[in-house]
Amino acid sequence: MLKIGSLLRPENVAVGVKAASKKQVFLEAAKMLAASSGLTEAEIFRALLDRENLGSTGFGRGAAVPHARIHDLGNTYMVFMRLAQPVDFDANDGQPVDLVCAIVGNYGATVEPLKALAGACRSLRNSDTLAKLRQARNAADLYAGLIEAG
């Protein structure tokens, strides 16, 4: 399992992201991921949406980890967003989502994207971590909370 800090950079953390729907969340994530990965927003958005169509990546307690594998992507990339308002994500517990960790990885890589996903999910299952992330005053505090969580 990869630690969040091995993939997440401070510039890939945002607080107060405005999105009124799950699709808008994916658009915002795609913008951030495109800036660091070199892929286009459109291909990232499509990959996230295609994966979501297989089943919701909202796993409960107001957190979601949308993820996708993309051909010819050199590395695994991660962004973290705290939304301005919770969004319906069809999560298994029915709660709307305000914490989003989006991950894209190489389609051919079998280990790193899965380890990144496992690390993010582990951190976002902890009630204390979720509370700290929701109380962070700004992106720097949010990033520090994520690094502390592992």
Q: Looking at the domain that runs over 4-149, which CATH code has it been given?
A: 3.40.930.10
CB 28 within 8 Å of CB 44: no
Q: Answer yes or no: pTM beyond 0.75.
A: yes
- CA distances 82 to 13, 29, 36, 138, Å, are 8, 11, 19, 10
Output the tens digit of pLDDT for each of the chain's 150 residues.
556 666 789 999 999 999 999 999 999 999 999 999 989 999 999 999 999 999 999 989 999 989 998 887 788 898 999 999 999 999 999 999 999 989 898 766 555 545 555 555 566 778 898 999 999 999 999 999 988 887
Catalytic positions are: 67
Domain ranges of the chain: 4-149
- CA distances 22 to 1, 18, 73, 93, 139, Å, are 27, 11, 24, 16, 21
